[in-house]
Amino acid sequence: MRKRGLLPAGLLLFLSAGLLARVPSGFPGKTPRQGQSERPKFYALQVVFEKKVQNAKDSLSAPDGRYAEILAGGQLVVLMGNKLYPFPIFGGEPLGGYGQPDSGSVVGKGEADFGLEGWLPMQDTQNKQHYAWIPLGLSVSGFCLWPIYNMGVDMIRITNIGTKSLFVDAVIGYSGEAKRR
């Protein structure tokens, strides 16, 4: 039987669907559900680049009800307080026991039509390392790095691809072991 190849193919199909799906209204990942495991959090610490953004620094640190406004066609690049890693999918327990596959989430309000990318190291055909913006997979509760990338990322780019302003309160990264509530 060839069941071994179905799991990786199914996983890649699931993750690629997250790239194609748009967040229909609002932002994913606002609060964990009751009984859901909670991992330690860290936040964006510095604005690295902004284009067509008002109050960019309001997207830094923990959610506080103050929002950076990314205008249509605008971009916001933030440096995280720690590196985000792909969720563990291989091992003894499904999803490494985290109970959720997300590497992080974006807290915002209003309609959300945005692109989300990480600044990741890549190797070209001559084995020279360079960096490139790689799309992050969107999920119902946040975003994740592709499991094929085993290195971390600490720079996140949010691009407003919609026609209305995008309001971002915080960018949250998850790390460490899950804590049961």
The domain that contains 149 carries what CATH number? 2.60.120
Instruction: Note whether residue 38 is domain-resident.
Output: yes
Is 1 part of any domain?
no
Q: Domain residues for 12? A: 6-174
Residue 181 lies in a domain: no
Mean pLDDT of the chain: 75
Alpha helix (H) residue ranges in 81-178: none
Specify if 180 maps to a domain: no
Which residue did the predictor score with more confidence, 149 or 141? 141
Residue given tokens 């610490």 in the structure block: 45
Local confidence band at 152 (pLDDT 50, 70, 90 cut-offs):
confident
Q: With 60 as the cut, is the pLDDT of residue 116 above it?
A: yes
Contact between 176 and 83 under an 8 Å Cβ cutoff? The reply is: no
User: What is the model's pLDDT at position 37?
Assistant: 55
Between residues 33 and 122, the one the model is more confident about: 122
**pLDDT band for position 140 (50/70/90)?**
confident
How many domains does the chain divide into? Answer: 1
158-to-14, 32, 95, 129 alpha-carbon distances in Å: 22, 22, 26, 24
Alpha carbons 54 and 51: distance in angstroms, whole number: 9
**Mean pLDDT over residues 91-115, rounded?**
69
Lowest-confidence pick of 3-17, 146-160, 161-175 = 3-17
